[in-house]
A and B are shown apart, each in its own frame.
Chain A
């Protein structure tokens, strides 16, 4: 699923935990590991890298270290592009200050502009994170069949105990408001139909996906999908949220947050953003 997994290493206090988490994923997906370091290549740092790889028992033969000089965000993204990385693992703070959010931190920049899938871990651990409760975004978008196929695939590989697929009725208030001209029976029928349509949408996609051994729960809500996903993840204390992204977010999206930007402003749990 992810032949090449990359991790940007900054020798920060979180590095050990991020290396442990990435190693687990590399093993689960039988991937090649790409470590990206932004800064000057020195003998000391090279030795540090070797020691870190040995500490975590990472195979050096299946690991490549990339050295880049320049702006961290830009260089990490460039390295991902050059190496044709499939998944970039990143650590990110759950909450960012007002100014940092609007001006943009390196972590958020990578998430927003990455050319490949990004797994954002809000609390990476040395003993690694179990993705037991996984939530997939099932709202009707062009990218959703891809998200469900890959989200289910990911859940299978990480042995998730429960997969929730959340779908949202678009503009429920407007639709029910205009249906308000009908009789009570017709309104009830419209309401049922709206829910049923969303269930059918997800079920139809799942028919073509191998879901065996996975417990899947489809839930339909009304509201803005990103906000509803965030709330649902917090409510069930999800370990991972999987969403798709097919557009690059800009400062304008931060000024008027919507969709993915809503999620990035809160990061309700670990977040896997898939790119088609």
Chain B
């Protein structure tokens, strides 16, 4: 097995240390301003990446992040694992019980909040592919992707905002959470299919087998897979070291599912997400275990991923105010109105529908992962990716104050 040499090891360790330290500093700054840590972590990446640090201290930046290709490959491995784990934790956050309880109303809100951005995004990208920066050779897939990217809600971020506003346990709060969970599940199913389709031109599976496999895998994991988890988890909890046994085996199952979906032609992240849903829905995965998994992944792997975004893209060079403006305006308006109309269809009073509209407009985690994968697959340009990151930043900063404001409305 090929290994890193002495200098490459030092470089890799310095990379990781720098990323974690700067991410922590900026996450704390974000916390001071009552903003989610992810905002600080993304800004940290922009600062230590080519955008800021690369412009002012090019030699140091180059030594840290460009001087040892082998270290960069190893770092990329860390980032890939981080993405898989982030999707795993996103799956764990989905509680099917909450979704069933909220029932049709949550489904209406989720469907409307996704349909409007997807349709608007698709039409816009399909009509102006060159202006917006979607791959003209894969026009339908890339346009659908753009619509999907602006339709995602960041469940963990909105959960935190609802907690801060004391709305988490209210009917409106639970509706938002349940709808965001449905958006997550639908979003990742659709995205996996789209991504496979873009690869189908390069010898992938084709449309129907991909859709069939994706749905079959989802159904299998949520029924028989969950049954298997329910059989093995009590044994793991009882016989193995806790939480060590549970942590290592749940991560192992996450990597196994991820590699399986990658093998059958669906992206690895989908396997990680669905096994997260199945595991999180098991009655034998204790809430304490979920908390540990959350903290382990959110504080170590999430910062590495979110900082890495800033390392990959130069936010000044590739910045296009036209694209950013369009993405932000279309993203904010369509998501808000979609969720608002969904709320009205679910017979919510106007005020509650406005809160739901702002709540589901919260972005800042899954949408960025989705954007990065699309960027790496050549579906979108860096400029459009920057637009998506800025949309995520603006919406996650503004959602809390807007929801608080809407709650006080006297209508």
- Taking Cβ atoms with an 8 Å cutoff, the residues of A that contact B are 140, 169-182, 190, 197, 222-224, 227, 253, 255-256, 258-259, 262
A172 touches B287 (CB 8 A): yes
Residue from A175, A224, A255 within 8 A of B168 (CB atoms): A175
Whole-angstrom CA separation of A169 from B98 in the bound complex: 12
Please name the residue on chain B nearest to A178 by beta carbon. B160
- A140 touching B169 by the CB < 8 A rule? yes
Per-residue contact bits, chain B 162-198, to A (CB 8 Å; 1 contact, 0 not): 0100001100001001000000000000000000000
Can you pick out 27 interface pairs between chain A and chain B where the beta carbons lie within 8 Å of each other? A140-B169, A170-B168, A171-B168, A172-B291, A173-B280, A173-B288, A174-B93, A174-B156, A174-B290, A177-B89, A177-B93, A177-B290, A177-B298, A178-B159, A178-B160, A178-B294, A180-B299, A181-B27, A181-B31, A181-B37, A181-B160, A182-B31, A190-B163, A223-B286, A256-B96, A256-B223, A262-B283
User: Cβ of B298 and Cβ of A197 under 8 Å apart?
Assistant: no
Which residue of chain B lies nearest to A261 when distances are taken between CB atoms in the complex? Answer: B100
By the criterion CB–CB under 8 Å, are B283 and A227 in contact? yes
The 7 A-B pairs of least Cβ separation, nearest first, read A173-B290, A177-B294, A222-B287, A172-B287, A227-B283, A178-B160, A173-B287
Q: How far is the CB of B165 from chain A (nearest CB, A)?
A: 13
Do A256 and B169 contact each other (CB < 8 Å), given the known contacts A170-B98, A176-B291, A177-B294?
no
Q: Is the beta-carbon distance between A174 and B31 smaller than 8 angstroms?
A: no
Shortest distance in angstroms between B295's beta carbon and chain A's nearest beta carbon? Answer: 4
A184 to chain B, nearest CB (A): 12
Task: Check: B95 CB closer than 8 A to any chain A CB.
Answer: yes
Closest to B100 in A: A258
- A-B contacts, CB under 8 A, total: 87
Determine the chain B residues whose CB is within 8 A of the CB of A190 once the complex forms.
163
Residues of A within 8 A of B265 (CB): none
Q: Output the least CB separation between B130 and chain A (Å).
A: 40
* CB closest residue in chain B, given A170: B169
Write out the residue numbers on chain A whose beta carbons fall within 8 Å of the beta carbon of B299.
180
Q: How far is the CB of A6 from chain B (nearest CB, A)?
A: 30
Known: A170-B174, A190-B163, A259-B100. 10 other contacts (CB 8 A): A140-B169, A171-B177, A172-B287, A173-B294, A174-B290, A181-B27, A255-B223, A256-B96, A256-B222, A258-B100
A259 contacts which chain B residues (CB < 8 A)? 97, 100-101
A253 B100 Cβ-Cβ under 8 A: yes
Contact code string B16-44 (vs A, CB < 8 Å = 1, else 0): 00000000000100010000110000000
B313 in contact (CB, < 8 A): no
Neighbouring B residues of A224 by C-beta, 8 Å:
97, 283
Q: Who on chain B is nearest to A176 by CB? A: B291
A190→B291 CA distance, assembly (Å) = 13
CB-based nearest A residue for B223: A255
Question: B92 interface residue, CB < 8 Å from A?
Answer: yes
**Contact between A175 and B159, CB atoms less than 8 A apart:** yes
Across the interface, do B156 and A177 meet the contact criterion of CB distance under 8 Å?
Answer: yes
Interface contact B163-A175, CB-CB below 8 Å: yes
Q: What does the 1/0 interface line of B269-287 toward A look like (CB < 8 Å)?
A: 0000000000010010011
A256 touches B100 (CB 8 A): yes
**Best-surrounded residue of A169, A172, A178 (most CB of chain B within 10 A):** A178
Chain B residue numbers with a CB within 8 Å of A178 are 156, 159-160, 163, 294
Q: How far is the CA of A147 from the CA of B31 in the complex (A)?
A: 41
A residues near B222, Cβ cutoff 8 Å: 256
Complex formed: what's the CA distance from A223 to B97 in Å? 11
Cα(A262)–Cα(B96), bound, Å: 13
Q: How far is the CA of A242 from the CA of B27 in the complex (A)?
A: 46
In the complex, which residues of chain B have a beta carbon less than 8 angstroms from the beta carbon of A255?
223
- Set B31, B101, B168, B295: member contacting A177, Cβ < 8 A: B295
Write the chain B residue with the least CB distance to A177: B294
Give chain A residues whose Cβ lies under 8 Å from the Cβ of B160. 178-179, 181
- Taking a contact as CB atoms closer than 8 A, the residue among B92, B96, B100 that contacts A173 in the complex is B92
Set of chain A residues within 8 Å of B298, measured between Cβ atoms: 177, 180-181
User: Which residues of the partner chain A approach B37 to less than 8 Å between Cβ atoms?
Assistant: 181
The smallest beta-carbon distance between A169 and chain B, in angstroms, is: 8
Q: Is the CB of B97 within 8 A of A174?
A: no
Instruction: For the complex formed, measure the closest distance between the CB of B396 and the CB atoms of chain A, giving whole angstroms.
Output: 13
Question: What A residues does B168 contact at CB under 8 A?
Answer: 170-171, 175
- Which residues of the partner chain B approach A262 to less than 8 Å between Cβ atoms? 283
B291 near A180 with CB under 8 A, answer yes
Q: How far apart sit A223 and B290, CA to CA, in the bound complex (Å)?
A: 10
Question: Given A170-B98, A256-B100, A259-B97 in contact, is the A223-B287 Cβ separation under 8 Å?
Answer: yes
In the bound complex, residues from chain B placing their C-beta under 8 Å from that of A174 are: 93, 95, 156, 159, 290, 294
